Structure 1
Amino acid sequence: MRPARISQARLAGLAYLAVVLTGMFALAYVPSALGLGVDNGANSLLIAGRPGFYRLGLLGLLANQVAFVLLPLLLWRLLARHGATLAALMVAFALTGVPVVLSALGFRLDALALLPDHAAAALALDAARNRMLIGMTFWGLWLLPLGVLVWRSGVAPRWLAGLLMLGCFGYLLQVAYDMLALDMPGPLNSVVRLPAMLGEIGFCLWLLLFGGRVRI
């Protein structure tokens, strides 16, 4: 494999690492540390108690979305020759979700501005949650063409490509449950999240460590 392509793969891996780390911080660590749950009335009280830390999470989400603009474009350069239409769909799905998530970020900022009116802040957090749900749809959809391209290209093992494709359907299942106001059983919730998490982290690390070279 040409060194230029290996370098391109590692650059995409760095962008993916930025997406993974900022996402873990903003979407997992900060909500967990604040104790945020499903009740946005209670959440408004919690963010009022630690507004600075909450703002750090919002900054992390902003950085996450900036990195997520760069990532599909870098992957397109790496993978487009293995399927131009699939690569275009990958980029389109990924980028469509960005303004939706940024809109959710705006509502999360509004919630802070509305404090100490906790009822109004809770409504802003509700609006943010709804937009994040729509954004999650595109977080899932872009993984399907990405997984097919990884499968075709051989830049990573096919088991990683399979996890990426399964991750798409895991995200969509979560969205469907939430849209229909259904409670997903705890064990099922853990299972449907697993393929995307393993696939994305695994693919990111493979690009960084091996530069797109498959090693069995």
Structure 2
Amino acid sequence: MFGLFAEVGARGPLIVGSDAAATARAILAEEPLFRAGIAADLAMLGCYVGVTALFLDVFRPVHAGVSRMAAAFSLIGIAVLAADTLLLLAPLRLLATAPYLSALGAPQREAAALLALKVHGDGYDVSLVFFGIYCVMLGWLAWRSGFLPKAIGGLMALAGVCYILNSVADLAAPAFAHTLSPHIMDPTLIGEAALALWLLVFGARGTPGRATRMPQAARQGHRA
């Protein structure tokens, strides 16, 4: 939710294609909204750290090695996106800070600000490659778990493939990326929503870890 607001609600209306001057005017006119998008990105990253730790614990009983590797890919993606967020501060400094106003002409500042925003988009794609791998691994773990429907595992794996395909195409083959369907990212929303809703409604009851811990606790209580 935070990420969707940042990308679609905050920055989406302000970045006017490749028009550097129009983008600069929009950012300056809606600076509080632009900064709110940055704050939403940070909130999203904090939530993803918590989700990564949660899923590491939930899926560890299914396969500890794969669960740890999935968490590692997730944390790398989070770190890349956290560093990438710094680029969003460049337009604000270039367009509204005194040293740059006097040192650079308006066209140069506006072009540099738009470049920072475009490179931020590239960094987002890099982070989604790692997050896509994370989703594929989560899908495999969910499929193998026995406490989640296999359909959710399949949807999460498909979501990961879509993340990877879309991001790699954007970075390595832009011409090919333009031929992809605009709906290629739909499975990512469906897969993640299905997993989140299932856990919200049913929780992680019946996980192998919980099943093995309960008898142990009972035995300890019996000995006491």
Aligned positions of 1:41-120 closer than 5 A: 41=20, 42-116=22-96, 117-120=109-112
SS of equivalent to 2:170: helix
Distance apart, 1:120 and its partner CA: 1.9
1:36 aligns with 2:15: yes
Distance 1:184 1:164 in 2: 22
Q: Does 1:157 align with 2:149?
A: yes
Aligned position for 1:143: 135
Contact 1:107 1:128 in 2 (8 A): yes
Distance in 1 (alpha carbons) for counterparts of 2:142 and 2:193:
14
SS of 2:174's partner is coil
Letter in 1 for 2:189: M
Cross-structure match for 1:193: 185
Out of 37-46 and 75-84, give the one that drifted further.
37-46
Equivalent pair of 2:132/2:160 in contact (CA under 8 Å): yes
Report the CA distance shift for 1:82/1:40 in structure 2 as closer, same or farther (over 3 A).
Answer: farther
Size of the alignment, in residue pairs?
192
Structure with greater Cα Rg: 2
Secondary structure of 2:49's partner? Answer: helix
In structure 2, C-alpha distance between the alignment counterparts of 1:84 and 1:142, rounded to whole Å = 14
C-alpha contact (below 8 Å) 2:59/2:67 kept by paired residues: yes
Q: Would the aligned equivalents of 1:45 and 1:118 in 2 still touch at CA under 8 Å?
A: no
1:188 is paired with a residue whose SS is coil
Q: 1:55 to 1:205 in 2, by over 3 A?
A: same
Task: Report the Cα distance in structure 1 between the residues aligned to 2:92 and 2:7, rounded to whole angstroms.
Answer: 17
Q: 1:62 to 1:185 in 2, by over 3 A?
A: same
Shift of 1:187: 6.8
Ranges in structure 1 where 5+ consecutive residues have no aligned partner:
1-20
Residue 185 of structure 2 corresponds to residue 206 of structure 1: no
Asked whether 1:27 is paired with 2:20, we answer no
Scaled by the length of structure 1, the TM-score of the pair is 0.81
Structure 1 distance, partners of 2:14, 2:152, is 33
Question: How much does 1:186 deviate?
Answer: 7.1
Find out whether 1:182 has 2:175 as its counterpart.
Answer: yes
Work out the CA distance in 2 between the residues paired with 1:54 and 1:138.
26
Q: TM-score, normalised by structure 2?
A: 0.79
Aligned to 1:6: none
Q: Is the 8 A contact 1:154 1:213 kept in 2?
A: no
Shift of 1:196: 1.3
Contact residue 103 and residue 128 of structure 1 kept, 8 A: no
Q: Which residue in the other structure is 1:129 paired with?
A: 121
Please list every run of 5 or more consecutive structure 2 residues that lacks an aligned counterpart in the other structure: 97-108, 207-224
Which protein, 1 or 2, shows the higher relative CO under an 8 Å CA cutoff with sep ≥ 6?
1
Shift of 1:155: 3.2
Residue aligning to 2:161: 169
